[in-house]
Amino acid sequence: MNESITFQYKISGDDFTRAGEASSDVKNKLKMMGVDNNVIRKTAIAMYEGEINMVIHADGGDITVDISDDEIKIVLADQGPGIKDVVKAMQAGFSTAPEEVRALGFGAGMGLPNMKKYSDEMQIETELGVGTTVTMLIHM
């Protein structure tokens, strides 16, 4: 059986300055495990975008990262408002981020498109008023 390792993070919803701590931690751990640089880069960027999304739209949530021989699986689960129109949300540049968030340089509408671009597989489960779970796979 393939051995795997799991890391879990609780993302707080009210603090922009802390967004990125979880992806940074995963990145350092992947480096210590000798994972390919390109895989690390993809994981770090995809996860960072997911983390930021959780802070902007969903008041935080939980991230679970599973690392095994053949893939990295990132599950981002929140109890936020849900995504109204997933197809639209996947379009580059489409954003529902509030003005004060955009003023900080976030909310450019590249979150989900970048998550898709940097992961090898991505799945979104969302329900209005209940929450969203995004699962990303990055192949080793």
Partner 1 sequence: MNKFIRSVRLDEDACRGCINCIKHCPTQAIRVHNGKAHITDKFCIDCGRCIRYCPHHAKIPDYDSLNVINNFKYTVALPAPSLYAQYNNLTNVDIVLNALLKLGFDDVFEVSAAAELVSEASRAYIEAHEEEAPFISTACPSIVRLVRVKFPSLIPKLLPFKPPVEVAAEIARKRAMEKTGLASEDIGIIFISPCPSKVSYVKAPLGIKKSQIDNVVAIKEVYPLLLPHMTHDENSLTPLSASGRIGIGWGNSGGEAAGIITDSYLAADGIVNVLRVLEGLEDEKIHGLKFIELNACNGGCVGGVLTVENAYVAESKTKRILRYLPVTQSHLDSYPDVRVKWDSLVEYEPVFRLGSTFKESLHMMKTVEELTKRFPGLDCGSCGAPTCQALAEDIVRGEATVNDCTYVLRDYINRLSDEIELLANAVNENGQSDESLKTLQENIGRLSVELEELFHSTF
For partner 1, the closer CB: 103 or 130: 103
Instruction: Transcribe 55-74 into DSSP letters.
Output: HHHSSEEEEEEEEESSEEEE
Residues that bind partner 1 (CB under 8 A): 3-5, 7, 20, 23-24, 27, 29, 31-35, 37-38, 40-41, 44-45, 48, 67-69
For partner 1, the closer CB: 22 or 58: 22
Length of the chain (residues): 140
Give catalytic residues, as residue numbers.
49, 53, 102
Give least dist CB 24 to partner 1, A: 6
139 phi/psi in degrees, rounded to 5: -75, 145
Buried b (16+ CB within 10 A) or exposed e, 97-115: beeebeeeebbebebbbbb
For partner 1, the closer CB: 4 or 130: 4
Give least dist CB 7 to partner 1, A: 8
